[in-house]
Structure 1
Amino acid sequence: MKRQRRAARSLALLAVLGLGGSLASVPAAAEEPGKPGVEWGECPEDVVAEAAPTVLTCATVRVPLDYADPGGEQLDLTISRLAAANPDKRRGVLMLNPGGPGGSGLAQSALLVAQGLPSSVLDRYDLIGMDTRGVGHSGRFSCGFEEDSPYYANIPPYAPDDAAVTAQAKVAEQVAEQCARNDRDGRLRHLTTANTARDLDRIRAALGEERTNYLGYSYGTALGAAYASMFPDRADRIVLDSNLGDTHLDRDGLRRFARGMEDTLPDFAKWAAPRHGSYGLGRTPAQVRASYLAIAGSLDRTPVAGADGALFRLLTFGHLFKETQYPKLAQTWQLFREGDEAGVRRLLAEEKESAAGEALSPADNSLTVFLAVTCNDVAWPENVNTYRRGVAQDRERFPLYGAAAANITPCAFWPHAPAEPPVEIEDEGPRNVLLVQNLRDVPTPYAGAKLLRQKFGDRARLVAVDDSGHGAYVLGRNSCALNTTTRYLVEGEMPAKDTFCRAE
C-alpha cells in the first residue's frame, strides 16, 4: 500500500505546475552587448537524448547569485541553441521558457520543432532554451524531498473539510522547515522571477544581442511579462501563451486554477457523453460531471489502491491539459468508479513509467524551485483561518477543484520575506506583447489573460482562441492562432486590435 502511495505521489507531479538586504537599488539593465561571450559545445547527455533527432549546442553564462552583490558568488546557467536555419534571413534570438517555475527548457526548441514550429520561424531565429537558475544543469537547488515525502505536488491536495485544511497546514509547515534546514548556504532566497528576468538580460548581452525576442508558456508568461516590464528597451517581439495573469503566482492566481477546471471539464464531458457505451460515465455532459463528483466523494471515504479523492481530482486536473489525454482520463475514471484495485495499480505504474521519460527535472528539484520562486516573489497569508475560509468558499463556488486550489501551501510558513516587491507590469513602452490564450485552459484560465491584457494596456494585443487545452501556439490546433502568432514573430505584424479565433 505504501508503495502505491509513493507511485501516486510521483505521478501527481506531472499534473502540474528572511531575504537579507534590499534589491531596490539593483539597476534594471545588465550590461551592454558586445562580442558574444559564450562558447558553444556539446550538450549534456540527457539533453542530447531528449532533443534527438534535433541536434543542439550548449553553453554556460555566468550570473550573480545575488544581484545586490554582483561580485559575489556566481551561478553558471546552462543554455542551448538551435541556430537559425537560414543565416541570410536571421533577425536575432528567440528565448524560450516552458513554464514551471522548475521545468527544464534546454530541449524545448526540439519539442517545438517536433510539434511543427513553422520553418519561417526556424529560418529567422536562433532558438535559445535554458535551465533557469536553480533548475537542472543550472544549479539543481534542493529541499531534500524524497519519494515518500508528504509534499508531492505543486498544488495542495483537495480538502473535503476543515480538518483536512488543518492537516495540510501541518504538512506545509514541515515542508517550509525542511527547505530552511537544507538551505545551509542561503541560496534559495535568490530564486525569484525578478532575478530570473535579470538573468535573461545577462544571457542577451552574452549573446551579443542588443534586443531579445521571447516565447513563454504558462509560468513563462509571468517571466516574459517581468522581462518586458523591467527591460522594455531590450525586449523586441514578446509572445506570452497561456497566461498566468501577472509577473508572479500568488494566492489569487493559484485559486484561478479552480476556475480553469470549471471552464475545461465541460469539454471532456461533451467528449465522454457520446462514448457512454464504452466508458459508462454518463449519457449527457451533466451526468458525466455528476460521475466525477460521485467518484471523488467515494474516494474521499474509501481510497482505492492507496489513491484517494484528492489524487483522483489532481489526476483529472492534469489530464485535462490536452484533448489527446481524454481517452486515458475516461479509463482512469472507469477504474476508480469500479474500485478496480489491480487496474488502478497498473494505471499508476504506467503513468509513473511514462513520467520518467518526461522533460522534467527530478521531482525534488522541480518542487524546490517552484516553492522558492513562488514564495519569494510575493508575501502569502500566514493565518490558517484565511485558508479555511477560502477553501470553504471555493468548495461552494468551484466544487470541482476549489477546495484544492484554495488550500494552504508552504508559502504560508516560508522562512524568508520577499526581498523586493513583485515586478509591476509596465504599460508604457513599445506595443510588442502578443498574448495568446485558449478560452478553456485548466491551470491558466482565460481570466488570467484578460488581467494581463488590462495591465499592459496598449502595449499588448490579445488573441483569444475558442479551444481547450494548455498551450495555443504550435502546441494547439487552431490555424488562426498559429498564423497570427507566426506573422508577428516573422514579419512583426501585430494585430491592430484584440483578435478572436473561432473554433475549428
Structure 2
Amino acid sequence: MFMSRRTALCAVLALAVSLVSAPAATAAADTGDPLARFRHQPLTWKSCVQGPDDDTGKELQKAGAECADVTVPLNYDDPGGRTVTVAISRIRATDTRRRIGPLLLNGGGPGGPTLGDPPWVRQAMKQVGARYDIVGVDPRFVGRSTPLDCRWPTGTSIHGAGTGRAGFDRAVAFARDLARRCRTSEGSVLPYVTTRNTARDMDIIRSALGERRISYLGYSYGSYLGEVYATMFPGRVDRMVLDGVIDSGRYSPRLLRGTEKANRQALADWASWTAARHTTYGLGRTRDAVLATVNRVQAAATRKPLKVGSHQVDEHTVPVIVLSGLSQDDDDAYGALAQAVRDMSRAARGRHVEPGPEFAETLKFVVTGSASAYGSVQSAILCGDVAAPRDPEVYWRDIQRSRARDPFLAPVTRNIGPCAFWDPPREAPTTVRSDFPALLVNATGDPRTLYSGAVAQRRNWPSSRLVTLRGTSQHGVYGVFGSACVDARVNAYLATGRLPAEDVTCEAQGRPGCRYGPGRPR
C-alpha cells in the first residue's frame, strides 16, 4: 500500500561482532519494572553484511554502520513469555561535541524495512547528520527482524474488484483466502502485530540505547507510527518529522479509500508526460489518447488474461500495476510505468512480450508469492490496528457508487481486503493526542497520503508546523524529491529543534526556495 523507499534482501550469514553495553540500570530503576530486562539489555553490535550478495549490508558497511538485534516481548502484557527480535542499524554521530542523540527512522509500508535507510538519510541531512546517531529499524516481523510470512501467492493484499459482480465475487474469495492463510500459519502472533506494539518496541530501543529521548523521522505509514509513539510516550520525543502525513482520525485498513481524485490527477499528469514521448513509448500523442490506451489494456485483460513473459495479468491486477506506478513524480518513475503499459498494450494485441527488468520486478511482486512476507505483515498491522467492515456487500455498494466517476481506480481503492475476514483487534485503536510540536511535510498532490490529511493533522496539532510542497504528485518529499526548500526547512529544524514561526510553502517547479505561509494551513 505505502511502500518504503527500500526493500531488504534476504540474510544468510552473520559476520564479525563486538559487544557494546547500554548504561547499567540502577537497582531502583529495575524495581517493579517487568520490562527492566528488555530496557537495559546489552546490545551486540556487529557487521550488517550477511553474505556475499547482501547489497543492503554492504551499503551500510560502506557508510560506517553497525547492526544489532533488540529483544522485545511478543506480548507486552506477558513480558515473561515469548520474545521476538527487532533488527536495527546505526551510523554513529561523528560530531560528538555537538551530538543531539538518536534519530529513529521508519520508511512506511506498513511492513516496509528501514534498516537499510540510514546512509541515504544521512546524506539528505547534510552537516546536521553528523550530530545524530541515525538508527534504521526493521519493525517487528519485518525484514531482518523475527519473520512473519503467511505464504501468500502475492506480495500485496491490494486487488482490483474487476468490472462486474463475478469479478467482485472472485475478489471476495481471494481476500478470504489470504486471511485464512495467515490465521493458519501465523495465528499465534497475529494479535501482536500492531502499531501500538511497534511503538512499544521503539521505546525499548530508546532505553537499550541508553537514551532519555529519541528524535524520529517517519514517512507515510511511518507518520502514523510517530503519532502513536508521541501519544503513548509523550516525554520521550525530542524532534519529530512526519513526511506524507496520515490523518490519525481516518487511519484504518481502508486507507486508499478516498484517494481516487489525487490518483486520477497523477494518472493524467503521467499521461501528459507520456504523450510528449510518443516516439519512445507509442502510447498516444495526447493525454487522452494515452488514457484510452490504458482503458483498452484493462478491457483486453477483462476478456482474457494478458500473457507478459511467464506471468498472466488480468482485470484484477492491471489497475494495481498502474496504481503502484503513481506514487513518485519523476522521469524514472514515469518512464517505468510507461514501459509497463507499453508491454501490457503489446500483450493485449497478441504480441509476445518479455517485460523489462523493472516491470518484471513489479509483476513478480504482484502476481507471485516472492514478496509474500511484505503483504502478510502489511495486512497484519492494518487489520490488527483497526477493524474493517465485515460484510462484503458494504464494499460492493461502495464500488458501484464510485464506478461512474472512476471505473478504473475505484474498484481497487474501495475493494474488499483480508481485514474483512480477520479476527477483531486485541486493543482499541489509539486516540492520538490533541497537540504535539512536530514538523509535518506533504506534497499537495500526494496520491497516497493526501494533502488534506496533513492539513487535518496540522489542525489537530496546533503546535506543529506544516511544510507544503506545491505542484507535484510526489509521495515522500524530504531527501527524496530534491526540493532544496523542503530539505533546508527539515534540516534547520533537526539542527536547532526550533520549528518555523509559520507554515512554509515550497514550489515544486524548478525546485526553488521557500515562501512563508499564513501560520495555519488553508
Per the TM alignment, residue 494 of structure 1 is displaced from its structure 2 partner at its CA by 0.9
Give the helix-richer structure, 1 or 2: 1
Structure 1 residue 459 and structure 2 residue 466: aligned? no
**1:272 equivalent in structure 2:** 274
Contact 1:94–1:214 (Cα < 8 Å) also in 2: yes
Per the TM alignment, residue 369 of structure 1 is displaced from its structure 2 partner at its CA by 0.9
Contact 1:37–1:208 (Cα < 8 Å) also in 2: no
Give the TM-score, by structure 1 length: 0.85
Map Cα deviations across residues 45-83 of structure 1 (whole Å, 9 max, x no partner): 134235353231011222111011122212221111011
Q: Following the alignment from structure 1 to structure 2, what is the Cα–Cα distance between the partners of residues 198 and 131?
A: 14
Per the TM alignment, residue 348 of structure 1 is displaced from its structure 2 partner at its CA by 6.1
After TM superposition, the structure 1 stretch with the greater mean CA deviation from structure 2, 345-354 or 309-318, is 345-354
Change in Cα spacing, 1:319 to 1:179, as seen in structure 2 (3 Å) is same
Per the TM alignment, residue 408 of structure 1 is displaced from its structure 2 partner at its CA by 0.6
Per the TM alignment, residue 373 of structure 1 is displaced from its structure 2 partner at its CA by 0.7
Map Cα deviations across residues 149-174 of structure 1 (whole Å, 9 max, x no partner): 2x442312242122212111112112
Structure 1 residue 442 and structure 2 residue 447: aligned? yes
**2:507 equivalent in structure 1:** 502
Map Cα deviations across residues 319-341 of structure 1 (whole Å, 9 max, x no partner): 22222221222222223223378
**1:155 equivalent in structure 2:** 158
SS in 2 for 1:61: strand
Change in Cα spacing, 1:30 to 1:472, as seen in structure 2 (3 Å) is farther
Structure 1 residue 55 and structure 2 residue 78: aligned? no
**2:19 equivalent in structure 1:** none
**1:391 equivalent in structure 2:** 399
Q: Following the alignment from structure 2 to structure 1, what is the Cα–Cα distance between the partners of residues 500 and 351?
A: 50
| 1:473 corresponds to which of 468, 473, 478 | 478
Change in Cα spacing, 1:325 to 1:28, as seen in structure 2 (3 Å) is farther
Per the TM alignment, residue 232 of structure 1 is displaced from its structure 2 partner at its CA by 1.6
Q: Following the alignment from structure 2 to structure 1, what is the Cα–Cα distance between the partners of residues 251 and 244?
A: 13
SS in 2 for 1:419: coil
Per the TM alignment, residue 118 of structure 1 is displaced from its structure 2 partner at its CA by 3.0
**1:24 equivalent in structure 2:** none
Per the TM alignment, residue 501 of structure 1 is displaced from its structure 2 partner at its CA by 1.0
**2:306 equivalent in structure 1:** 304
Alignment gaps of 5+ in structure 1: 1-11, 18-26
Per the TM alignment, residue 448 of structure 1 is displaced from its structure 2 partner at its CA by 2.5
Matched AA of 2:239:
R
Per the TM alignment, residue 14 of structure 1 is displaced from its structure 2 partner at its CA by 9.7
Change in Cα spacing, 1:394 to 1:356, as seen in structure 2 (3 Å) is closer
Contact 1:62–1:74 (Cα < 8 Å) also in 2: yes
Structure 1 residue 318 and structure 2 residue 324: aligned? yes
**2:139 equivalent in structure 1:** 132
Contact 2:35–2:79 (Cα < 8 Å) also in 1: no
Matched AA of 1:465:
L
Contact 2:34–2:79 (Cα < 8 Å) also in 1: no
Per the TM alignment, residue 355 of structure 1 is displaced from its structure 2 partner at its CA by 8.8
**2:208 equivalent in structure 1:** 206
Matched AA of 1:285:
R
Q: Following the alignment from structure 2 to structure 1, what is the Cα–Cα distance between the partners of residues 290 and 71?
A: 52
Contact 1:31–1:202 (Cα < 8 Å) also in 2: no
Give the TM-score, by structure 2 length: 0.82
Structure 1 residue 425 and structure 2 residue 432: aligned? yes
Matched AA of 2:359:
E
Change in Cα spacing, 1:276 to 1:61, as seen in structure 2 (3 Å) is same
After TM superposition, the structure 1 stretch with the greater mean CA deviation from structure 2, 336-345 or 362-371, is 336-345
Q: Following the alignment from structure 1 to structure 2, what is the Cα–Cα distance between the partners of residues 330 and 354?
A: 13
Matched AA of 1:442:
P
After TM superposition, the structure 1 stretch with the greater mean CA deviation from structure 2, 159-168 or 243-252, is 243-252
Matched AA of 1:156:
H
Contact 1:191–1:372 (Cα < 8 Å) also in 2: yes
Change in Cα spacing, 1:464 to 1:230, as seen in structure 2 (3 Å) is same
How many residues align? The count is 470
Per the TM alignment, residue 493 of structure 1 is displaced from its structure 2 partner at its CA by 2.8
Contact 1:16–1:155 (Cα < 8 Å) also in 2: no
Matched AA of 1:394:
S
Structure 1 residue 413 and structure 2 residue 416: aligned? no
After TM superposition, the structure 1 stretch with the greater mean CA deviation from structure 2, 481-490 or 43-52, is 43-52
After TM superposition, the structure 1 stretch with the greater mean CA deviation from structure 2, 173-182 or 29-38, is 29-38
Q: Following the alignment from structure 1 to structure 2, what is the Cα–Cα distance between the partners of residues 443 and 330?
A: 20
After TM superposition, the structure 1 stretch with the greater mean CA deviation from structure 2, 186-195 or 255-264, is 255-264
Q: Following the alignment from structure 2 to structure 1, what is the Cα–Cα distance between the partners of residues 459 and 135?
A: 29
Map Cα deviations across residues 216-260 of structure 1 (whole Å, 9 max, x no partner): 111111111111121121111111111232288424422134343
Matched AA of 2:84:
L
**Aligned Cα RMSD in Å?**
3.1
Per the TM alignment, residue 193 of structure 1 is displaced from its structure 2 partner at its CA by 0.3
Divergent runs of 4+, >6 A: 12-17, 27-36, 340-344, 354-357
Change in Cα spacing, 1:283 to 1:211, as seen in structure 2 (3 Å) is same
Matched AA of 2:90:
R
| 1:169 corresponds to which of 169, 172, 182 | 172
Instruction: Using CA pairs under 8 Å that are at least 6 residues apart, name the structure with larger relative contact order, 1 or 2.
Output: 1
Q: Following the alignment from structure 1 to structure 2, what is the Cα–Cα distance between the partners of residues 247 and 132?
A: 23
The equivalences for 1:123-272 within 5 A come to 123-145=130-152, 149=153, 151-183=154-186, 186-246=188-248, 249-272=251-274
**2:10 equivalent in structure 1:** none
Change in Cα spacing, 1:28 to 1:490, as seen in structure 2 (3 Å) is farther
Per the TM alignment, residue 34 of structure 1 is displaced from its structure 2 partner at its CA by 8.4
**2:344 equivalent in structure 1:** 336
Structure 1 residue 374 and structure 2 residue 382: aligned? yes
Q: Following the alignment from structure 1 to structure 2, what is the Cα–Cα distance between the partners of residues 28 and 276?
A: 66
Change in Cα spacing, 1:462 to 1:267, as seen in structure 2 (3 Å) is same
Q: Following the alignment from structure 1 to structure 2, what is the Cα–Cα distance between the partners of residues 69 and 422?
A: 20
Q: Following the alignment from structure 2 to structure 1, what is the Cα–Cα distance between the partners of residues 389 and 356?
A: 34
Q: Following the alignment from structure 1 to structure 2, what is the Cα–Cα distance between the partners of residues 340 and 262?
A: 23
Matched AA of 1:129:
G
**1:66 equivalent in structure 2:** 75
Contact 2:6–2:117 (Cα < 8 Å) also in 1: no
SS in 2 for 1:170: helix
Q: Following the alignment from structure 1 to structure 2, what is the Cα–Cα distance between the partners of residues 458 and 183?
A: 41
Matched AA of 2:424:
A
Contact 1:16–1:153 (Cα < 8 Å) also in 2: no
Map Cα deviations across residues 467-501 of structure 1 (whole Å, 9 max, x no partner): 23221000112221111111111122312222211
SS in 2 for 1:339: helix
